[in-house]
Structures are given as structure tokens and as C-alpha cells.
Amino acid sequence: MAFQEYSPAQLQTLFYERVGQNTAFWRSNEVGLILKEAFRIFNCLTGYWRGRISMGLTVANQTWYSSPPGLTYIYRMEINNIPLGSSSLWDLDYGQPNWETETCTATTLPQVFAPMGTNLFALWPSSFSGGESLVVDGVIPAPDPTTGTFVNLGQEELTAILDYSEHIAQFKEGGQEFEASQLLLQKFLKYCAYRNAMLMQSARFRSWMGLTDEAKRPIRSVTERVGAR
């Protein structure tokens, strides 16, 4: 898949091609904000723009750490170049009730990390003496197409972002135009699910896509009867 750098002007040109070159109805500053939102939603759903940050060294007996600034969310972590398992606070609380007071031995390392929101994460067990290197891989904020930044995108990613941009833009028109744009939203969400398989495990995402695990009930014909029923 070929990648190409796009300037903000090129992205706006591609957007206007989608809406019939209607530069009067959608002003250039408005289009910039539409593209900005599309970039952010795409990045949140797929984790497309990523970065690696060294957090320095672990601290003895410290369970909670602040997430590095500049990361939208964390998806991977290493201690002394060894990947940690990923867990959740729910799993730790119910599977290991005293986990916040547990510490490694002198010869072991923390085993898992568990995010708490977007600004904190926990290590379990906490480091025995500290001093281990801690490296975090995470999703960084999407580039802002209103600041003059060039963006490197593949054709599939570009198409998905433009699909969602057009869907957002049609909200201004409303009516049948906005209703028809729901197909673009479905295409966008489907591509995001392809890029991020975890989305298919989300009940909210499955609801957006019209997917359900419930068995369909057969339609039964009931004969009408006179009197109380």
C-alpha cells in the first residue's frame, strides 16, 4: 500500500471533491475543523499514530505511576526490555484482592500493568528495589490538519478519514443528505474495526454497526379472539 504526504490544502481539496466543490456552504476554516475531528476519531479507534516513550526507572514499592504526557492511551509496556502483560483494575481487584500491597522479590520483576483512565497506570507486583528501565508504547495525538502539518497516509486510511469527514459535513445539510451519509459512517467504522480487532469485542461498537448476539425471535401469528385476553 503506497503512502503519500498530504498538506492541509491537499486534504481540503480532496474534501471539496466529495461535496461537489461547494466552497460557499462549507467554508475553509470549517472544513479544517471537520478534518481535525475526523483525524482524532480515526486515531482513537485505530491507534494509527503511535510513539514510544522512556519513563526512566521504576521506584521501589511504588504501585501507581503517571502516564507520560503526550500519550492518548497506553497499549504496551516493557521493563528491562521484557514485555509486561496487560490487565485491568477489575481483574486485579477480584483476582488478587491485596495486589496493591504486593511487592516483587529481589530476583523478580513486575508482571503486568493496568491502566486507570488515561493518566495513571499500576504495576503489579511493585518493584522490589526500583531501578528497572520502564518504556511505554502508546497512541500519540493525531496530527492537526489546521496547523500546516504534512500528514503521511495510505490510500485506505485517507479514504476512511474522508468518508467520516463527509458524514460530519452532511450533518449541516440534514435531511436526506445526512441520512444517506450513514453509509459512509458504516464504511468508516467497518474499516476501523479491520484495523483494530479489539473494536469487535466492544458492545457499543457492535451496537453502532447493527450487530447483536441475540437470537432473532420468530414472528408468530396469533389468532384474534373476542373478549378479554
Q: What is the pLDDT of residues 117-165, one digit of tens each?
A: 888 999 999 999 999 999 999 889 999 988 888 898 999 999 999 999 9
Give the whole-angstrom CA distance, residue 51 versus residue 135: 11
* pLDDT of res. 44: 86
| Claim to verify: residue 131 and residue 83 sit in the same structural domain | yes
Judgement on whether residues 112 and 170 belong to the same structural domain of the protein: no
Quick one: 62 and 129 in the same domain? Answer: yes
Q: Are residues 160 and 194 in the same domain?
A: yes
pLDDT given for residue 219 in this prediction: 44
Q: Are residues 66 and 131 located together in one domain of the fold?
A: yes
Q: Quick one: 138 exposed, middle or buried, by C-beta within 10 A (0-12, 13-18, 19+)?
A: buried
Q: Is residue 7 part of a domain?
A: yes
pLDDT in tens, 30-85: 999 999 999 999 998 888 898 999 999 999 999 999 998 888 888 899 999 999 99
CB 93 within 8 A of CB 39: no
Q: What local confidence, expressed as pLDDT, does residue 218 receive?
A: 47
Examine residue 126 and state whether it is found in any structural domain, yes or no.
yes
**In Å, what is the CA distance from 111 to each residue of 56, 114, 183, 222?**
18, 10, 44, 60
Tell whether 128 and 188 lie within a shared domain: no
Alpha-carbon gap, residue 29 to 27, rounded angstroms: 6
Which residue intervals of the chain are DSSP H helices? 8-18, 28-46, 89-95, 155-173, 175-180, 182-195, 203-208
Confidence label for 221 from pLDDT (cuts 50, 70 and 90): very low
Domain co-membership, 89 together with 131 = yes
- Nearest CA to 16 out of 31, 38, 5 is that of 31
Domain that includes residue 156, residue range:
3-48+143-203
From 86, 117, 139, give the residue that closes a domain: 139
Over 70: is that where the pLDDT of 216 sits? no
Claim to verify: residue 61 and residue 166 sit in the same structural domain: no
Pairing of strands 112-116, 50-57: unpaired
3-class state of residue 145 by DSSP: coil
Instruction: State pLDDT tens for residues 164-200.
Output: 999 999 988 888 888 888 899 999 988 888 887 766 6
Q: 132 and 70: one domain?
A: yes
* Domains of the chain: total: 2
- 212 domain-assigned: no
Domain end among 88, 121, 139: 139
